[in-house]
Chain A
Amino acid sequence: MVNVFGNKATRFGFGEGLVELGKKNDKIFVLGADTVSSVAINGFQKEFPERFANVGIAETNLLGMAAGLAVAGFVPFVSTYGVFASGRPWEQIRTTICYSNLNVKIGGSHSGLMVGPDGATHQALEEISIMRCLPHMTVLVPCDLVETKKATIAAADYNGPVYIRYGRENVPIITEDKTPFEIGKAIKMREGSDVCIMACGSMVYESLMAAELLEKEGIKARVLNIHTIKPIDKQAIIDAAKECGAIVTAEEHQIFGGFGSAVAEVVVANSPVPMEFVGVNDTFGESGKPADLIVKYGLKDVNIVEAVKKVLKRKK
């Protein structure tokens, strides 16, 4: 059985984390781009108006001003929908923020297909790929509200640019305040050695559900929550490859260049084993209810089970 402690959107974890940070660190500055309440940074705005700026619908200026605030010694956090936080200002993130290794934290909300009815324009499915290729960038994809709050707080103490990917829809809370969180350190959510399912974000829950289904068929699946895509926990991946002999990755993101690719880079160079990738397969999303989209695009526990069975056929 998968322990679930509630059901709430990860964006609120980011917002709560910021308020907590704001209380103890007067260098935290938050910038929004007209989506302030929908990305849940209005709590910080209310508590610390003097350290908050809304730059309007202008994402290149959002990242540019954040860069300047970092130069001025602040720890700026920006947040808007993931597509607009990562895609439109990508070159500012590359050339101004990463090249200068500025201490800017980017909160990419509304990630994945679960944005739902807004459709493909607003369903960010590429941020992991386009952020992890940037030198100096750290990429975090927490699995639930509790972990998102921890990731937000950890990002503030971590020098350099950080991208945190989270979402708008309610997702099950599967970690607790006491669950340790360290940037770059994967969390073993379930023991097993027949296969390892590695997941990030919303897919950690689906992976745990998949492991339950597999257990009934006598397959013991290890589940790793790899919340840090970069720098990735190489040791946990290598250990899993050696001990389980087959890997399935799961992400609510494009397969090309995403989380699974990051895992594969470690696996093929260190301990090659068969792999399968569960994710969005080179297509845009569409309007629909989040739950229906996840089914249609193959991101459910049953899809992970299917991938596990496929990969086990190739396991030596």
Chain B
Amino acid sequence: MEIADLKIISASVRKEVLKMLNKAGSGHPGGSLSAVELLVDLYNNHMNFNKDNWQDKNRDYFVLSKGHVCPVLYAVLAQIGCIPKEELDTLRKIGGRLQGHPAMDKHIPGIEVSTGSLGYGLSIAAGIAKGMKTLKQDNRVYVLMGDGEQQEGSVWEAVMAAPHFKLDNLCAIVDCNGLQIDGKVEDVLNINPIADKYRAFGWNVIEIDGHNLKEVDEAYTKAKQCKGKPTAIMAKTVKGKGVSFMENVADWHGKAPNAEQLEQALKEIDASLK
């Protein structure tokens, strides 16, 4: 898919994220908006995954380690036809499939495992990747983490394990939006130099602007070409990207826009395409 098309899809995904959060009345817009391009390009241009092959043994896997940004995943899954669009209105509602954090027992195509407690996804993805290697299959495994999430010790057990097992079918993406609940990541507990740390542990590291679709697209291609070690894409992003009053504001980590805020946000996103 061309970059211009991905840009339009990204805008549409952003709008869906904000609309569903408004309807839900709670949820996490900041980190959802920072990961839009990373997921839109992944699902539309790289992953062997669609609504017809979601249980196929040759599919690629995606694990949302930062499970709280599931609105962006649900919106992308709706965009590729895995979730009915109208179901997005049921986010966080009782009896619904679209839980506040991804739930495997709700049988949503694309939710491979329940996530939401930070620091677990990389190990899970490494396990899937090890499984595919054992089966001698070339499925790829993707996992999206947050930068604040890198503070979890369990992440580093997996960072150490993936190169040891030579999991070159594994691609970790770190959404480096620089903010967490209590403020700037560097103030709460600095994780940098994060790229150097991954390199030192034996990873192929690619540093990009996570909103530049061309860079994002190239990074996924390069990751596939790297043999013998896993790849980590360090994506510099903006928390709340695309909505002026949300950008770089930690407070928008975990609150939903009201009707007025939603209207303004949707207008801004539409204007960005002109």
Q: Are A68 and B104 in contact (CB-based, < 8 A)? A: no
Distance in angstroms from A160 CB to nearest chain B CB is 12
Distance in angstroms from B131 CB to nearest chain A CB is 3
* Cα distance, A301 to B135, chains bound together (Å): 50
A100 interface hit (Cβ, 8 Å): yes
* Cα distance, A92 to B158, chains bound together (Å): 13
Q: Are B126 and A61 in contact (CB-based, < 8 A)? A: yes
A177 interface hit (Cβ, 8 Å): no
Q: Are B105 and A96 in contact (CB-based, < 8 A)? A: no
| A residues in contact with B120, CB < 8 Å | 60, 64, 92, 95-96
Partner of A96, one of B115, B157, B158: B115
Interface centre among A50, A74, A76 (most CB of B within 10 A): A74
Q: Are A68 and B127 in contact (CB-based, < 8 A)? A: yes
Partner of B161, one of A51, A61, A66, A72: A61
* Cα distance, A61 to B130, chains bound together (Å): 13
With contacts A55-B161, A99-B103 taken as known, whether A69 is within 8 angstroms of B128 at the C-beta atoms is: yes
Distance in angstroms from B201 CB to nearest chain A CB is 13
A102 interface hit (Cβ, 8 Å): yes
Interface centre among A50, A68, A69, A96 (most CB of B within 10 A): A68
8 A Cβ contacts from B162-218 to A: 165
A193 interface hit (Cβ, 8 Å): no
Q: Are B104 and A100 in contact (CB-based, < 8 A)? A: yes
B53 interface hit (Cβ, 8 Å): no
| B residues in contact with A71, CB < 8 Å | 61, 112-113, 124, 127-128, 131
* Cα distance, A101 to B104, chains bound together (Å): 8
* Cα distance, A120 to B104, chains bound together (Å): 37
| A residues in contact with B165, CB < 8 Å | 53
| B residues in contact with A95, CB < 8 Å | 114-117, 120
Give the nearest-CB partner of A63 in chain B. B123
Q: Are B157 and A58 in contact (CB-based, < 8 A)? A: yes
| B residues in contact with A58, CB < 8 Å | 157, 160-161
Interface centre among B103, B104, B123 (most CB of A within 10 A): B123
A91 interface hit (Cβ, 8 Å): yes
Give the nearest-CB partner of A89 in chain B. B154
Partner of B127, one of A51, A56, A64, A99: A64
Distance in angstroms from B61 CB to nearest chain A CB is 7
| A residues in contact with B134, CB < 8 Å | 29, 50-51, 74
Distance in angstroms from A298 CB to nearest chain B CB is 38
| B residues in contact with A180, CB < 8 Å | none
With contacts A95-B120, A96-B115 taken as known, whether A65 is within 8 angstroms of B130 at the C-beta atoms is: yes
| A residues in contact with B160, CB < 8 Å | 56, 58, 61
* Cα distance, A73 to B153, chains bound together (Å): 27
* Cα distance, A72 to B127, chains bound together (Å): 8
Partner of A53, one of B119, B125, B130, B132: B130
A67 interface hit (Cβ, 8 Å): yes
Q: Are A96 and B124 in contact (CB-based, < 8 A)? A: yes
With contacts A53-B165, A58-B160, A64-B123 taken as known, whether A69 is within 8 angstroms of B131 at the C-beta atoms is: yes
B57 interface hit (Cβ, 8 Å): yes
Distance in angstroms from A51 CB to nearest chain B CB is 6
* Cα distance, A66 to B160, chains bound together (Å): 16
| A residues in contact with B126, CB < 8 Å | 61, 64-65, 68
* Cα distance, A63 to B113, chains bound together (Å): 14
B129 interface hit (Cβ, 8 Å): yes
Q: Are B124 and A64 in contact (CB-based, < 8 A)? A: yes
Contact with A along B214-243 (1 / 0, CB 8 A): 000000000000000000000000000000
Q: Are A100 and B114 in contact (CB-based, < 8 A)? A: yes
With contacts A61-B123, A64-B127, A65-B127 taken as known, whether A72 is within 8 angstroms of B132 at the C-beta atoms is: yes
* Cα distance, A63 to B120, chains bound together (Å): 10
Interface centre among B120, B129, B165 (most CB of A within 10 A): B120
* Cα distance, A21 to B1, chains bound together (Å): 47
Q: Are A101 and B113 in contact (CB-based, < 8 A)? A: no
With contacts A61-B126, A68-B123 taken as known, whether A96 is within 8 angstroms of B132 at the C-beta atoms is: no
* Cα distance, A64 to B119, chains bound together (Å): 10
Distance in angstroms from A120 CB to nearest chain B CB is 24
Distance in angstroms from B110 CB to nearest chain A CB is 13
8 A Cβ contacts from A29-73 to B: 29, 50-51, 53, 55-56, 58, 60-61, 63-73
Contact with A along B140-161 (1 / 0, CB 8 A): 0000000000000110011011
* Cα distance, A60 to B116, chains bound together (Å): 15
Q: Are B105 and A68 in contact (CB-based, < 8 A)? A: no
* Cα distance, A66 to B126, chains bound together (Å): 9
Distance in angstroms from A61 CB to nearest chain B CB is 4
Q: Are B131 and A99 in contact (CB-based, < 8 A)? A: no
> A interface vs B, CB < 8 Å?
29, 50-51, 53, 55-56, 58, 60-61, 63-74, 76, 91-92, 95-96, 99-102
Closest 10 CB pairs of A and B: A68-B127, A64-B123, A72-B131, A65-B127, A61-B157, A58-B157, A100-B104, A68-B128, A60-B154, A68-B124
Other contacts beyond A68-B113, A68-B125, A99-B105: 8, CB < 8 A = A58-B157, A61-B158, A61-B160, A61-B161, A64-B123, A64-B124, A67-B113, A100-B113
A sample of 10 inter-chain contacts (CB < 8 A) reads A29-B131, A56-B160, A60-B120, A68-B124, A69-B131, A71-B124, A95-B120, A100-B104, A100-B113, A100-B114
